[in-house]
Amino acid sequence: MKIRYFDNAATTKVKKEVLEAMLPYLNEQYGNPSSLYSLGRKAKTGIEKARKNVANLINCNPNEIYFTSSGTESDNTIIKQIAKKYKKNKKHIITSKIEHPAVLHTCQVLEKEGIDVSYINVNKEGIIDLEELKRSIRNDTFLITIMSANNEIGTIQPIETIAKIAKIHNIIFHTDAVQACGNMPIDVKKMGIDALSLSGHKINAPKGVGALYVKNGIEFDKFMDGGHQERNKRGGTENVASIVGLGEACLIAKNNLEPHIKHLQELRDYYIKQVEEKIQFVKLNGAKSKRLPGNANFSFEFIDGSALLFKLDEKGICASSGSACTSGSSEPSHVLKAIGLPDNLSKGALRVSFGEENTKEDVDYLINSLIEIVNELR
């Protein structure tokens, strides 16, 4: 049976070009990048080339990029390190109710350590309430952290506006751009972003590698004790091959951004139109226009989402009910609850996230399968 993959928000396939760029650093250029001999220097060169490619994707300086193991590590690092830096004088963070668990759970840990956190509401499309954000700012607010685009419903936030609000009040602004990088233009200078998290496995690089952008001038302490790697911020021998893979994936994403977005939008819009026309009692979750090009999240009324996923899997279709990071929870999605969706609709949610290998024929197969399964389950 042919596998049709529609869960690119959970993870993406490593590109052939990315794998080819990685292989020499696994079996030929295997030196430790901290070594002074040529084998080590070649590994170090691979890392620095990757750093430039990551920086070019988001338009920052290479020395503002720090390699990590994941988007989750990047989120944890910047939020906790900034809190550590400011906690003597400032005690307040602002975030939203629909953030990824990497941000929400980090903020909850900090609350136990005496940091106040404001969780801003969103409207029915998942767009943050800017007026509530402004009202929540205090004299001791030191960080605003709002995701660029939501991993479940695809809603894109007004990042430039939020950044301007933060700048007026001299507050550091961080964005979790794990879903956004490679799927929409990101320019940290133009958008006014002070810190940003991204992940390799969302943009056709391997799992286990990510990056953190921190604007020059923002001070933060070493977050991994050990050697002097990553400009003395993150000790430990670098994951050279995966870092090289991330750099190659960022280079490809930068060079192919417009056709990539166009392809995903065409598939997404076709899918949404077909579902709304051919299946009764469905609701599109998230913004109609301000959403990631490859994201479509529908609630199917009178349907259990888990049963729907199992039936789709029997037909070789990979999709999800929401974030892969919360799939072990029996609770309805916190994102869908935040946009006001009742539990019966939340539990019938199906997230489809398209990738560049998907075709219109794949989408037709998905739609026909959905029609059959929904009728059967109802």
Q: How many domains does the chain have?
A: 2
10 CB-contact burial (10 Å; exposed 0-12 / middle 13-18 / buried 19+): buried
What is the domain extent for residue 345? Answer: 4-12+257-377
Q: What is the pTM of this model?
A: 0.95
CA 69/CA 239 separation, integer angstroms: 8
Per DSSP, the three-state class of 207 is coil
Report residue 257 as tokens: 């951004």
Residues 222 and 284 in one domain: no
Report residue 291 as tokens: 């959403």
pLDDT for position 330: 59
3-state helix vs strand vs coil in the chain, percent to 5: 45, 15, 40
Residues annotated as part of the active site: 325
pLDDT tens profile 45-84: 999 999 999 999 999 999 999 999 999 999 999 999 999 9
Contacts of 113 (CB under 8 A, 6+ apart): 83, 87
pLDDT for position 176: 98
Show which of 206, 240, 255 is a domain's final residue.
255
Q: At what angle do helices 240-255 and 257-278 cross, to 10 degrees?
A: 80
Residues 184 and 268 in one domain: no
Report the CATH number at residue 337. Answer: 3.90.1150.10
Q: Which residues of the chain register pLDDT less than 70?
A: 322-330
Residues 236 and 310 in one domain: no
Q: What is the C-alpha end-to-end distance of the chain, expressed in Å?
A: 26
pLDDT for position 40: 87
Residues 292 and 160 in one domain: no
Residues 149 and 195 in one domain: yes
Please report, rounded to a whole number, the percentage of residues in the chain having pLDDT higher than 70.
98
CA 163/CA 147 separation, integer angstroms: 12
pLDDT for position 100: 97
